[in-house]
A and B are shown apart, each in its own frame.
Chain A
């Protein structure tokens, strides 16, 4: 996992966002055990407390859970993960339309662009 942080935003939010993406994209599978707090802290080169705080966020969202002696696991509830995934998709789509609007595209035009020309640059 690559951690690149910008110091401008709370670091725990950046970590929880990164892990959330890994979970909804299936890089961490439902039911899979997560690396320990210490392992994540060393990989991210941050303080373990910061990682703990990020994991608490995800736990509150129901995306992960703690087994008391075993560590933390990704939720096996596909529905919870799907809801989180949709929320992220909505956020990204809203941002896309907003940016298209900034350069003068209406929402319909932006949609048409995606449908007809979007693939061209790829």
Chain B
């Protein structure tokens, strides 16, 4: 069964067509790269999947059901911008997640945190940007979900932190789930992707297995993306 299915999904903001008849289906055990320039429609799509926006037309199904309260429990979402209260400590954030999500695996989160040498008494506001990103990734990957959606998890972090983020994704990703990563930083991430979805002007312009694309078009996904979307 597909985890996520978008059928002719369309979103219009006043006169702007942000998403135009998007069709996507995701299978369990696969990692999808949602790739597009800034403003292509990636975040709009992700917000629709998370029920933060409502479609103008078309539908989104999560395990064959319309999205809603149930789907929210099973989708673990890392937003592009931080939503954590800067005055909270790590401990408090864990409490909050444990209250909010019954599928939050606290021991797992504690284990991942221990690898980072981060004190639980530390406040979010005292952490570097890279550290905050790591913490948020730990929170998201410590939920037992069917769909993980990471919106620009690599934005503004150093290469070592990127490595950590990719490793953590690979180590904690279950084969029963789908994972969608949206990014415009492709080179670092492309080796972990099963399939790539190019999105441009609100349309899916290409959806292919990553290795098949390297074979047919020649070059890396990063090269192919640059060739397609030359400004």
Contacts and interface: CB of A to CB of B under 8 A. Distances in A.
Contact of A47 (B194, B215, B222): B194
Given A11-B211, A41-B170, A49 B220 contact: no
The binding surface of chain B is classed by DSSP as helix
A45 B170 contact: yes
Interface stretch (B34-42, B70-78, B121-129, B184-192): B184-192
A45 B214 contact: no
Interface string A44-71: 0111111001000000000000000000
Contact of A45 (B166, B193, B194, B221): B166
B82 interface: no
Interface string B192-231: 1110000000000000001110110011111100000000
B181 to A, nearest CB: 11
B219 A45 contact: no
Residues of A in contact with B, size category: 10 to 19
Contact of B211 (A12, A41, A48): A12
Contacts of B218: 8
A53 to B, nearest CB: 7
Interface residues of B, number: 25
B189 to A, nearest CB: 10
A83 B193 CA distance: 33
Contact of B191 (A7, A13, A42, A48): A7
B221 to A, nearest CB: 7
Contacts of B220: 6-8
A49 to B, nearest CB: 5
Given A46-B191, A47-B31, A49-B194, A10 B214 contact: yes
Interface string A1-44: 00001111111110000000000000000000000000001100
Contacts of A53: 211
Interface string B153-177: 0000000000000110011000100
Contact of B192 (A8, A10, A13, A46): A46
Contact of A48 (B175, B210, B221, B223): B175
B214 A9 contact: yes
A11 B191 contact: yes
A91 B127 CA distance: 53
B30 interface: yes
B130 interface: no
B79 interface: no
Contacts of B222: 7
23 contacts: A5-B191, A7-B187, A7-B220, A7-B223, A8-B218, A8-B219, A8-B223, A10-B211, A10-B214, A10-B215, A11-B191, A11-B214, A41-B170, A42-B171, A45-B170, A46-B170, A46-B191, A47-B30, A47-B193, A47-B194, A49-B29, A49-B194, A50-B191
